[in-house]
Amino acid sequence: MVLSLVSLPVLLTLGARLVTAQPSPDVQRRISEAIANAARSNTTSPDYTAFVNPFIGTDNFGDVCPGASIPFGMVKFSTDLTGYAPAGYVTDPTQKIRGLSPLHDSGTGSSLGTYGNFEIMPLLCPGGFDTCTTSLDARERFRKNNTDEASPGYFAQTLDNDIKMEATSTRRAGLERFTFPSGSKPYFVLDLANDLPVSFAGGELDINPEQGRITIGGFYGSSFGPTQFNYQAFACYDLLDGGKQVLDEFGVWTADTHGLDAKGLGLTRLNLTRNLIGGVYQSGALFSYKGTPSTINIRVGVSFVSTEQACANAESEVGSSSFEDIVNQSKALWNAKLSKVELDLANTPPNVTEMFYTSLYRSFLTPNNATGEAQGQFAGTDSFYFDSLYCSWDTFRTFYPLMSLHSPVEYSQILESYIDAFRKRGWMPECRANNLPGWTQGGSSADIIAAHFAITYHNEAQALGINLNELYSALLADGDVNPPEWNIEGRQVNVYKQFGYVPFAVLDTGSTGRQTREGSRTLEYAFEDFGIRQVAKLLGNSDDEQRYLNRSLFYRNVWDPSVESDGFKGFMQKRFSNGTFAFQDPTNCSPKDQNDSRSCSLQSDNVNGFYESSSWEYSWFAPHDTAHLIELMGGNDTFVKRLDHFFDAGYYLAGNEPSFQTPIGYHYANQPAKSVDRVREVVFTNFDITPAGLPGNDDQAAMATLLIFHLLGIYPVPSTSQFLILSPFTPRYTIHNSFMNTSTTVTVVNFDPKSVQQNIPRGAAAYVKTVTLNGEQMSGRCHFDFYDVFRLGGEVTIEVTADKNSVNNCGSGEGAIPESVSLGGFASLR
């Protein structure tokens, strides 16, 4: 979870807050009717965008942006509301709208929000120019209840004064449409200095009344990174709709929160520096249109390079296209992405269809394709450039493994952006927010992203534009080279290599970083080392393979067998450099923590030893070597009892990434039917089709892609080609990989829709009995390989049964249990 820097227990308490606001009832009605119609008609080319509900995750701290965007679009047009609204929009009806802006991220938990630059707010000013409410506090308005609308590529919201705001987008531009009450004169306020994080550090605004154009450029601050860093953003607002609209009054304004409210009619320029003394200093443009036109169209272009490029983006991507033209173009782009996975619409439960395609939609919202818009060290780069990579710790587990199944081209483009950072900065980014380095959470999680690509597409890497040798060099830099400042990239690898773990309170004379999270950083570093080992093996570097294999076992060095909690012995703990453990109660920072003020995130006083997690949660984290974890915990029986207790006692957090694989841990103890039960429970107690339908922050579609894998009945082991087999929530689905020109269809024999609920009823078939790949039955039923299934394409048949006890094992034959390195697993790569 990328969270604001407050205590995890407090956020867990806040997460229970649900508001009663809902988007327009038409949204859910439209989706339900579309699913029902598609199921009846059984069409081969449905409108997949009709199954998407962009408002899922806009409450309960899901931080989803429902704004208008194209796949991986740099712009996401949405309103910005008061209160806690990192993505701009929230459903909470007690919050007010402050404007509509083109730049947002989706699913990030920065406390104040990210972007929100260049807000525009339509106004009614019966007393004329000087009476307009330009400052944020003065102009804020409530929404008109039940009028919020959104679909892929479209967003709309109506103010309580009956002004309707609509937006649609291209990659770097879009159109805004405003409908005013009959007979009213349209006024608009447009911001220079306001953004969501309140980070304005100087900029300029120019009004060209003859051209009907306003250009803006400024410096702003990161939403999840050092405040010392600033990025530049630029916008171009074309006001005349190709000559169909006539500008009337225009000018500039400044304001603050202590009485300043000044307007300059006829003035055309603002040139403001950073307000060094502090405080909120607001500024922008104010303009109106002649007459009383009911509809106003405004074309918007944005850029991270210059105002000239912002205008060029609007001209090249929107031009003279109508609002409907851009909506339709966006819709077509979304259908091309959403059709990469086809569900059996006629027989899949409607709520599953809506959850699935909404999640798939969010998996294409980020990161933001800012190719051609790079700045700073990346200005003029020949590589693809993606912004909003924050954070790799969130996305390596499920986001990129899902992309590997259907979109290797986009995967390679994003990976090229990671590798380009290594070329220019010396390390791949852990987090990139607002074109700036963001905070490191677990280590160098980009290593897993790069390794997973190499494992699955090494044969096609050159055709996809990736040099595997350079990729490997980037991995070795992360694994062996200590950056001077590891708060924002790389790892504290010097002491990690010296001691075999990241020590607590260690003397480090060669690098700087916040010395917290020693337990979780050790665990993450070790798994990252496993990813590097995989690529070393792939490239035939046996020395590095063995070195990094040994380092991948360093997770064992923070296991304290003496710690006991709830009757179970042995937990991960942070450790001093002299080898002694620094005890922390394993329940600290868990949902059962009684200390609501405990720091659990990036704060300097997080003494727990883990990042946004408890030791109860992180003690399950060794995805490459679960077999040895079972041994440490006392064997299969104790492991299963402990895993049951973890869930039943309330330690599990569905919205926390280290727990993503935990519900499927039963596979490794040879009890896969219990994994099926647990995943059903996880899905239906944490996800639904309401605005509060996520278990917290979407984390740039980490939650979305976790849910997708659960619904498809498979789960990836990152940095490997192995997928764990579960029980699909749909009787049939097909995944298309256009680059490989393959399609893989998974069919569930004996599928019973009654099994698709929190508790599988007696007699409902849900438990995997046999798995057949292209006509050949596997000896086991717990895992299969990417190369046998998704790379080749073809037919997969999963036969399910209601007889749980008869299939509560992984089957017969060598290799039936999922692999672990301590048992010789992952010894051969395809």
pLDDT digits (tens, 9 = 90+) for 795-813: 999 999 999 999 999 998 8
Number of H helices, E strands in the chain: 20, 31
Reduce the DSSP state of residue 805 to 3 states and report it.
helix
How far apart (Å, rounded) are the C-alpha atoms in residues 828 and 811? 21
pLDDT tens, position by position, 474-504: 999 999 999 999 999 999 999 999 999 999 9
Give, in degrees to the nearest 5, the angle at Cα 262 between 256 and 265: 145
Domain with CATH 2.70.98.10 in the chain: 25-336
pLDDT tens, position by position, 536-564: 999 999 999 999 999 999 999 999 999 99
Q: Which of 398, 450, 409 is nearest to 738 (CA)?
A: 409
pLDDT of 614 strictly over 70: yes
Average pLDDT of the residues of the chain: 94
How far apart (Å, rounded) are the C-alpha atoms in residues 447 and 168? 36
Give the C-alpha distances (Å, rounded to integers) separating 425 from 107, 304, 358: 27, 19, 36
How far apart (Å, rounded) are the C-alpha atoms in residues 107 and 15? 15
Class of 371-434+445-486 in CATH: mainly alpha
Give the mean model confidence (pLDDT) for residues 380-402.
Answer: 96
Structure tokens of 793? 């394409």
pLDDT tens, position by position, 352-371: 999 999 999 999 999 999 99
How far apart (Å, rounded) are the C-alpha atoms in residues 443 and 589? 20
Strands of 247-256's sheet, edge to edge?
78-81, 97-101, 120-123, 187-191, 281-289, 247-256, 261-265
> Tokens 């990836």, residue?
716
Count of beta carbons in the 10 Å neighbourhood of residue 272 = 17
Domain with CATH 1.20.1050.60 in the chain: 371-434+445-486
DSSP state of 613: S
Architecture label for domain 25-336? Distorted Sandwich (2.70)
8-22, 458-472, 655-669, range with the lowest pLDDT: 8-22
Query: How do strand 742-749 and strand 794-801 relate by DSSP bridges?
Result: parallel
Given this model, what pLDDT does residue 39 score? 81
Give, in degrees to the nearest 5, the angle at Cα 702 between 829 and 45: 85
Given this model, what pLDDT does residue 594 score? 93
CA 196 to chain centre: 19
9 pLDDT band, cuts 50/70/90, is very low
Sign of the dihedral defined by the CA atoms of residues 704, 707, 713, 716, in that order:
positive
pLDDT tens, position by position, 507-532: 999 899 999 999 999 999 999 999 99
Q: At what angle do helices 350-362 and 702-712 cross, to 10 degrees?
A: 140
How far apart (Å, rounded) are the C-alpha atoms in residues 97 and 75? 19
DSSP state of 170: -
5 pLDDT band, cuts 50/70/90, is very low
Give the mean model confidence (pLDDT) for residues 802-825.
Answer: 96
pLDDT tens, position by position, 74-97: 999 999 999 999 999 999 999 999
DSSP state of 753: G
φ and ψ of 122, to 5 deg: -75, 140
> Tokens 């450790």, residue?
575
Q: What percent of the chain has pLDDT over 90?
A: 90
CA 766 to chain centre: 30
pTM: 0.96
